[in-house]
Amino acid sequence: MDELRQAYIAESQELLASLDENLLTLEQNPADADALNAVFRAAHTIKGGAGIVECEYIVDFTHVLENALDSARDGRIKVDSGLIQLLLASGDQIARLLEFASDPEARPDAATLARGEELLAGLRAYSPGQAGAGGDLAAHPDAHVESSGGGMVGHDCWHISIRFGENVLREGMDPLSFLRYLAGFGEIAHLASLLDAMPAAEAMDPEACYLGFEIDFRADTSKEKIERVFDFVRDSCLLNILPPYSRVSEYVELIMSLPEDTMRLGEILVHAGAITPTELEQGLRTQSQAETGQAQTAPLGEILVEQQVVQKELVEAAVVKQAQVSDKKAQDAKLIRVHADKLDQLINLVGELVIAGASAALLAQKAKDEGMFEATSTISRLVDEIRDGALRLRMVQIGETFNRFHRVVRDVSRDLGKDIELVITGGEAELDKTVVEKISDPLTHMVRNAIDHGIESAEARIAAGKPARGRVHLNAFHESGNIVIEVSDDGGGLKRDRIKQKAIDKGLLSADAEPTDADLFKLLFEPGFSTADQISNLSGRGVGLDVVKRNIEALRGTASIDSREGVGTTMAIRLPLTLAIIDGFLMGVGKSAYVVPLDMVEECIELKQEETRTNACTNVLNLRGEVLPLIRLREYFALASRSGRRENVVVVKYAGSKAGLVVDELMGEFQTVIKPLGHIFTHLRGISGSTILGSGEVALILDVPSLITLATEFESGRRLAPALTLSNH
């Protein structure tokens, strides 16, 4: 796929996301002109780009969509839920058409084309609404009027100033016929005859025309349509048309809502309908003649105002629009699109640079060369900055992902006959783009579950004293080097007894077990576990939450559920900010080295020999009055027996829980380049990856959430078994 098509597809996908977002805003507030204009701009830009990359099937479809949106902007089509549904479906159709845009030879299949024809038929046949159908041009009958030549300009009327050429009658044209034609689609509110061109009686030519008119014309029409009335005499008369003053604000708004394309001032005025192409051509001709005559050339806007074809306010609005477009283009010039693969390659190279820098620092330390040590320290600092800068390149705000769920909530709630709003907070929180791409499906499962299982029907909510409209809340925040994403609902909450009985029936719990809420809710992540009474398109088959858990754990994250019956449910996932490079804390156990994320380390404690003997049996530590469960990594990984050195405890914290890792040696901070383990090790608990030390040795990265879970389970009386056996050979 060539770069131009690739850039077009990427930009169009962003525009479609914006189109969806603004359509949903418009559904809530049909009078929101800004949202409607934004939808029009998105469709217009997609259509323009499709023409450049020669995707005629997108141009043809979007052209009809653009016409419908233009009619809605003019008030000829009423914006209602039916139109919004049709426009949303049209956006989905464009997304389907974009799938064929990567290949210049590809064309949409028959099913896609048939779907497109259905939508186009709906767009063409959509019945006009009442809004703006006639306009109320006579709303201010007592408005102030001002003089213009021989006539009057009414604030609520088009003002037409025409002076017929002398040869009009000789050419078979009747000036009165033009007035009768005007009266056929509007009202001539005022007419004044201009006789200043009339010569003395003895100089009159009976075949010549000396008439002119100043006309106040009341009609809901366009300037171009009025100009077409005089097409047959356009070359032999002087014609000026000014819009009603009541419409100046509409023209200004239309000018400001034009697509962000680079256009000259005259083009802007023509696109907005403030002047016609003929008037623009006349203005440019006048400007060109002034340049030829070596006179001081006036700006085009001044010429058009002087020729009385446009109001000064509209020229000023066009100048402002030009400046806005110019500023936006300058801002866009500062941005550059980079393929994600290139960023991944950069991150990998930075990771190798981190490893090489650690190796150089180790050699300098062993050589005890102060000059070399100082040089490697400088290199390490620069590598840190390069690492942070490279990682920031892949950091994106999660708000963009959150905003996509407005459409999900709308469609699913409509399918279920529920009224649900989506509330988003914390959208400015950033995390690695790779992580964002992989959490979309798990989040979709969670949101759909909240709508289907969590939110009750309107009748049930009213009976429970709740508002009829339910709410789903998406929230994100940073916590200890991780990002926490919460999906909450204000529904009926999880029914503890029902879940327990289901677990007993499936053999997951004994009949006399009394699990905590946290332990019981964890069972919902088991494959095939469902409490739904009926199978629907959304739920009831026991597929969903186990997939969520599996996908989250693949990202070195965890998922949890908190619920209060009758109040609501919150599902939370905790994920690392990046999957590539982290600041770690290096620990030694015998000849093996282990790393934990530095953000999760609370403190380090040295165990005295008497404390070691006391805690060896209980595996807990009294930490300033707080019971701290311990995990002895030597025992957990079945390493060789311990030497006589003192032991240390590294206190780690995750999701509000703490545990102590008992190790032999504290080796300090360490830039950790995460190397994933092979598929053969995916079943291991307690290890999330590996890294390479400066010495070339491999250190394992500990999965702190999993270890804390094991520690708290053991504290509750469960048996802690070794996860694997590692030798020191």
Residue 483 exposed, middle or buried by CB count within 10 Å (0-12, 13-18, 19+): buried
With cut-offs at 50, 70 and 90, classify the pLDDT of residue 145: very low
Residue 613 has pLDDT above 60, yes or no: no
pLDDT, residue 215, reads: 87
Alpha helices in 53-164 (DSSP H): 56-74, 81-98, 110-125
Strand partners, 665: 588
pLDDT digits (tens, 9 = 90+) for 541-592: 444 678 888 888 878 788 889 999 888 999 999 888 776 777 889 998 888 8
With cut-offs at 50, 70 and 90, classify the pLDDT of residue 131: very low
User: Comparing 307 with 569, which gets the higher pLDDT?
Assistant: 569
Q: Kind and range of the H or E element at 395?
A: strand 395-397
pLDDT, residue 42, reads: 86
Determine phi and psi for 713, rounding to 5 degrees: -65, -40
Mean pLDDT lowest among 89-98, 110-119, 189-198, 598-607: 189-198
Rounded Cα–Cα distance for residues 386 and 75 (Å): 54
Q: For the residues of 679-700, what is the DSSP string, one character each? A: GGGTT-SSEEEEEE-TTS-EEE
CB atoms within 10 A of CB 389: 11
Instruction: Answer for the pair 131, 115: CB distance below 8 angstroms, yes or no.
Output: no
Rounded Cα–Cα distance for residues 287 and 486 (Å): 63
Mean pLDDT of all residues in 654-668: 86
pLDDT, residue 712, reads: 67
pLDDT digits (tens, 9 = 90+) for 274-306: 787 877 888 888 887 776 655 566 788 888 888
Token pair 């629009």 is found at: 321
Instruction: Answer for the pair 255, 272: CB distance below 8 angstroms, yes or no.
Output: yes
pLDDT digits (tens, 9 = 90+) for 382-424: 888 888 888 888 888 898 889 888 888 988 888 888 999 999 9
Instruction: Answer for the pair 251, 320: CB distance below 8 angstroms, yes or no.
Output: no
Options 3.40.50.300, 1.20.58.1610, 3.40.50.2030, 3.30.565.10; CATH for 397-576 is 3.30.565.10
What CATH number does the domain located at 3-125 have? 1.20.120.160
pLDDT digits (tens, 9 = 90+) for 513-551: 888 888 788 888 887 776 655 555 555 444 467 888 888
Residue 475 has pLDDT above 90, yes or no: yes
pLDDT, residue 415, reads: 87
Residue 187 exposed, middle or buried by CB count within 10 Å (0-12, 13-18, 19+): middle
pLDDT, residue 474, reads: 94
Strands (E), 232-311: 237-242
pLDDT, residue 420, reads: 92
* Residue 32 Cα distances to 76, 205, 503, angstroms: 16, 59, 50
Asked if CATH classification 2.30.30.40 holds for the domain at 581-715, the reply, yes or no, is yes
User: 340-394 has which fold?
Assistant: Helix Hairpins (1.10.287)
Best CA proximity match to 227, nearest among 177, 275, 168: 275
pLDDT digits (tens, 9 = 90+) for 100-118: 988 888 889 989 999 999 9
pTM attached to this predicted model: 0.61
Rounded Cα–Cα distance for residues 425 and 408 (Å): 17
What's the gap between Cα 115 and its chain centre? Answer: 26
**Residue extents of the structural domains in the chain:** 3-125, 146-320, 340-394, 397-576, 581-715
What is the widest separation between alpha-carbon atoms in the chain?
133
**262 by DSSP, 3-state: which?**
coil
Mean pLDDT of all residues in 148-158: 49
Residue 487 has pLDDT above 90, yes or no: yes
Residue 634 has pLDDT above 90, yes or no: no
Mean pLDDT lowest among 111-115, 237-241, 484-488, 490-494: 237-241
Task: In the chain, count H helices and then E strands.
Answer: 24, 23
**533 by DSSP, 3-state: which?**
coil
pLDDT, residue 569, reads: 92
Residue 486 has pLDDT above 90, yes or no: yes
pLDDT, residue 432, reads: 84
User: Comparing 547 with 428, which gets the higher pLDDT?
Assistant: 428
pLDDT, residue 141, reads: 34
pLDDT, residue 251, reads: 66
pLDDT digits (tens, 9 = 90+) for 684-708: 778 888 888 877 888 888 888 878 8
pLDDT, residue 604, reads: 92
Rounded Cα–Cα distance for residues 341 and 347 (Å): 10
Three-state secondary structure string covering 561-616 = EEEECCCEEEEEEEEECCCCEEEEEEEEECCEEEEEEHHHEEEEEEECHHHHHHHH
Q: For the residues of 447-513, what is the DSSP string, one character each? A: HHHIIIIIS--HHHHHHTT--SSEEEEEEEEEETTEEEEEEEE-S----HHHHHHHHHHTTSS-TT-
pLDDT, residue 70, reads: 79
CB atoms within 10 A of CB 180: 10
Mean pLDDT of all residues in 88-109: 89
pLDDT, residue 134, reads: 32
pLDDT, residue 154, reads: 40
Instruction: Answer for the pair 231, 293: CB distance below 8 angstroms, yes or no.
Output: no
User: Comparing 145 with 195, which gets the higher pLDDT?
Assistant: 195
Mean pLDDT lowest among 374-383, 504-513, 620-629, 715-724: 715-724
Q: What is the average pLDDT score of the chain? A: 79
**657 by DSSP, 3-state: which?**
strand
Mean pLDDT of all residues in 657-682: 81
